[in-house]
């Protein structure tokens, strides 16, 4: 994309605190007042996944450099020195450190936007409680069912009663204005397994850029919105890439955990323009997804599709 110029920083500049894991040092330059950071790309349970003894995870137990954090985006504003998270993952503490510490600038966590009540998207809120940060009224933006779920179920209800978080109710297609009006966030409902809450994606907009974030959806065909048209309306789209193909999870009925297979997305979007294909960054990859392995045949073939994979540590100017 024309608005992205890739600059490589020296190795080791961006580190996750208290960990040997290093995030990607790829940064995209431009107006640095507002920046979007990819804080994680893995499915809810991370990469490697607990108790995985198969080839996809085996080497990662000893080689921590190849691990991936759970899917999350962050935005920070250099003018107000405020920062916002999109989803509070099990890797919250590492991701918060990356988001709020940039060179000589310290950012304050101002708010968290939640997509839904599956384990990889809200359980990081535990770090805001009295056992950890003891946070003071951090805004947590949720849809109505998600708000009620947090208020009425422990341990999350304690975060509310102790004032660690301040629940801010969202509405479908309603817009929240942040960063002195320079940043707008709009949630929209998407079809997903809504056992405990609604599920939303987000449209993030500034004066210069429009970003789409849909880490979880059942199938594009179940949604009454044309994803190809939506991609054409934005500058960058982080889309559900959980599984590469059907049958990827051994011994489980994958219809019980529906997501648009990347193979399906590639077929559905094959006729969009090369410029629109380059906007799409697949995120939320399950540990079984062969695109996590740069030596796999699928990864090599993917390189010629014109689409992108989200990469931890990538920074986009907004």
In order, the DSSP letters of 33-93 are SEEEEEEE-B-TT-BSPTT--SHHHHGGGT-GGG-BPBSEEEEEETTTTEEEEES--TTHH
pLDDT on residue 137: 98
- Please tell me the distance from the alpha carbon of residue 191 to that of residue 257, in angstroms, as a whole number: 12
The listed CATH number (3.40.309.10, 3.40.50.1820, 3.60.15.10, 3.90.1140.10) that belongs to domain 30-317: 3.60.15.10
Contact 136, 164 (CB under 8 A): yes
Contact 64, 180 (CB under 8 A): no
Instruction: Enumerate the domain spans of the chain.
Output: 30-317
Find the farthest-apart pair of alpha carbons in the chain and give their distance in angstroms, rounded. 52
| pLDDT at site 25 | 40
Can you give the pLDDT at residue 10?
A: 34
Distances (CA, A) of 64 to 23, 59, 264: 12, 9, 31
pLDDT tens track of the chain, all 318 residues? Answer: 434 433 333 333 333 333 333 344 444 444 569 999 999 999 988 888 788 788 887 787 888 888 899 999 999 999 999 999 999 999 999 999 999 998 778 999 999 999 999 999 999 999 999 999 999 999 999 999 999 999 999 999 999 999 999 999 999 999 999 999 999 999 999 999 999 999 999 999 999 999 999 999 999 999 999 999 999 999 999 999 999 998 887 777 777 888 999 999 999 999 999 999 999 999 999 999 999 999 999 999 999 999 999 999 999 999
């Amino acid at each position: 994309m024309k608005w992205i110029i890739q600059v490589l920083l020296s190795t080791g500049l961006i580190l996750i605190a208290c960990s040997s894991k290093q995030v990607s040092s790829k940064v995209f330059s431009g107006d640095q007042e507002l920046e979007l950071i990819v804080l994680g790309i893995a499915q809810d349970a991370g990469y490697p996944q607990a108790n995985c003894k198969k080839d996809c995870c085996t080497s990662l137990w000893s080689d921590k450099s190849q691990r991936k954090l759970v899917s999350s985006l962050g935005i920070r504003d250099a003018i107000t020195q405020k920062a916002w998270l999109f989803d509070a993952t099990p890797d919250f503490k590492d991701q918060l450190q990356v988001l709020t510490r940039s060179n000589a600038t310290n950012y304050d966590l101002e708010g968290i936007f939640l997509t839904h009540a599956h384990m990889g998207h809200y359980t990081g809120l535990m770090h805001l409680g009295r056992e950890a940060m003891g946070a003071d009224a951090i805004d947590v933006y949720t849809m109505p069912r998600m708000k009620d779920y947090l208020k009425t179920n422990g341990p999350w209800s304690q975060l509310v009663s102790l004032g660690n978080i301040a629940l801010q109710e969202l509405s479908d297609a309603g817009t929240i204005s942040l960063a002195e009006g320079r940043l707008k966030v709009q949630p929209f409902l998407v079809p997903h397994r809504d056992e405990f809450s609604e599920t939303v994606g987000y449209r993030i907009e500034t004066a210069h850029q429009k970003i789409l974030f849909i880490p979880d959806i059942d199938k594009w065909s179940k949604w009454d919105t044309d994803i190809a048209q939506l991609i054409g309306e934005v500058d960058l789209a982080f889309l559900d890439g959980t599984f590469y193909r059907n049958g990827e999870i051994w011994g489980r009925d994958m219809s019980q955990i529906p997501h648009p297979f990347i193979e399906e997305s590639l077929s559905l979007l094959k006729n969009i323009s090369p410029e629109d294909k380059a906007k799409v960054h697949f995120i939320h990859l399950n540990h079984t997804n062969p695109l996590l392995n740069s030596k796999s045949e699928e990864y090599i073939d993917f390189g010629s599709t014109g689409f992108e994979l989200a990469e931890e540590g990538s920074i986009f100017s907004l």
